[in-house]
Amino acid sequence: MASRMEEVEMEAKTTLEMLEAEVAKVLNQETINVDLAIGELGVDSMRVVELILICDQLYQAPLDPEALDINQFTTLRDMDRQFQDMAARHRAGQVNA
């Protein structure tokens, strides 16, 4: 049986893979490197807005764009961590409410 940490890591990997696939579609690429900065991938400010909208659905939690730290040097792995953390805080707030 998987530990809670393994489950979280597996969930993070799954969302990262889904994020990678969605960004590849947006950029008309077959695959992309999740460890390259989004600026290097060709993501501009308009695409960042599109990515945030995709992530809002992907992570199934309301996301606060103002709370995100995204710039041209942010990687998809970084974004995934931020969205995972935000979704976890949202779920914890629902449980504690």
For residue range 26-63, what is the model confidence (pLDDT) as tens digits? 899 999 999 999 999 999 888 888 888 888 888 888 87
Element (H, E) at 86: helix 76-96
- In this structure, is residue 96 part of a structural domain? no
Q: Count how many domains the chain has.
A: 1
Domain that holds residue 69: 4-91
- In this structure, is residue 47 part of a structural domain? yes
Q: Is the dihedral of CA 52, 42, 40, 45 positive or negative?
A: negative
- In this structure, is residue 45 part of a structural domain? yes
Per-residue pLDDT reduced to its tens digit, 63-77: 787 888 989 999 999
pTM equals 0.76
CA atoms within 13 A on the CB side of 37: 8
- In this structure, is residue 97 part of a structural domain? no
55: domain CATH number is 1.10.1200.10
